[in-house]
Amino acid sequence: MSADAHRAVIDMNASTRDAIAVFFAEVALAAGPVVMNEYAKGCEVRTKRDSSPVTIADEKAEELILGLLRAGASTVPIIAEESMARGVQTAIGRSFILVDPLDGTREFIAGNGEFTINIALVRDEVPIAGAVYAPALTRLWFGGERAFVCEAAVGAPLPEKSFWRPIQTRPAPARALIALASRSHCDPATEAFLAKLPIGERRSAGSSLKFCALAEGAADVYPRFAPTMEWDTAAGDAVLRAAGGVVLAVEGGALLYGKKASGLRNGGFVAWGDSTLAATASMLNEAST
């Protein structure tokens, strides 16, 4: 892990968002071998109290990630999925880190490779830096002020900067939008929303890969009305925002983070590659009723 990135994150207020994103990218990469080792041998699946699946890969990856984050950002509260599931309480301040050590556990179990390691920094309710690593696909997305993607082999360090490709969302076409939908979670409200748009192609993908596809300009819209948690979305949201996109909440305005009253549960949202399509947000309330 680079010394520059490590030093940058120690002072979260003075660090650039890009430096923070690089640090998160390095931490996510460090967790890749842990996840892939369990993926290769097929680990046991258990059911949590909320009926969602969990594996030893989730737990081992989270333990490693938390250790690295605490070493590099010791004063910043960290909210991690499996710790929360065990009842660990962490105070949420103006700034905090969200960790999903294995987003897309169902994809992990299914063996399709569409799972990710997500880390993000939230400040004043907004995800300002994040990293998304898909170890089975050997691709890494990260963003703060700008957004990047690169090939990242499991067990290898973060590639040199010359291998990072800057990414941006694309202007949406007037017709034939490309829509993304969850591979494992869909619902009538999402279907109703998509039916109102000029969709030319629909693609399915797991985990936070949908945010990354929007950030790369490979799609235009991703609606999600089924429940998610903040750690599911924050890293992908940060990358998408850095690439020029926007994530709008059902109730209007940008999707916000640190929602203590809901236990960090998100309501419905729509992620757009082209932020000028935010005018379409008036359709959200209709789709959710």
Q: Note whether residue 171 is domain-resident.
A: no
Residues 102 and 21 in one domain: yes
Residues 127 and 198 in one domain: no
Each as own residue / partner, the long-range contacts of residues 68-73 (CB below 8 Å, 24 or more positions apart, any chain) are: 68/1, 68/27, 68/30, 69/27, 69/97, 69/99, 69/119, 71/6, 72/1, 72/5, 72/6, 72/9, 72/10, 72/23, 72/27, 73/9, 73/10, 73/12, 73/23, 73/97
Residues 66 and 187 in one domain: no
CA nearest to 249, candidates 266, 231, 269: 269
Domain count for the chain, please give it: 2
Residues 182 and 205 in one domain: yes
Residues 155 and 19 in one domain: yes
The pTM assigned to this predicted structure is: 0.91
Q: Note whether residue 172 is domain-resident.
A: no
Q: Note whether residue 187 is domain-resident.
A: yes
Residues 12 and 97 in one domain: yes
Residues 133 and 199 in one domain: no
Residues 17 and 147 in one domain: yes
Residues 114 and 200 in one domain: no
The boundaries of the domain holding residue 202 are: 177-287
Residues 154 and 12 in one domain: yes
Residue that terminates a domain, selected from 166, 197, 225: 166
Q: What is the CATH number of the domain that holds 207?
A: 3.40.190.80
pLDDT in tens, the chain (289 residues): 443 444 444 455 656 899 999 999 999 999 999 999 999 988 777 777 776 778 899 999 999 999 999 988 778 899 999 988 888 888 888 999 999 999 998 899 989 999 999 999 999 999 999 999 999 999 999 999 999 999 999 999 999 999 999 999 999 998 899 999 876 556 788 888 888 889 999 998 888 999 999 999 999 999 999 889 999 999 999 999 999 999 999 888 999 999 999 999 999 999 999 988 866 545 544 544 4
Residues 90 and 13 in one domain: yes
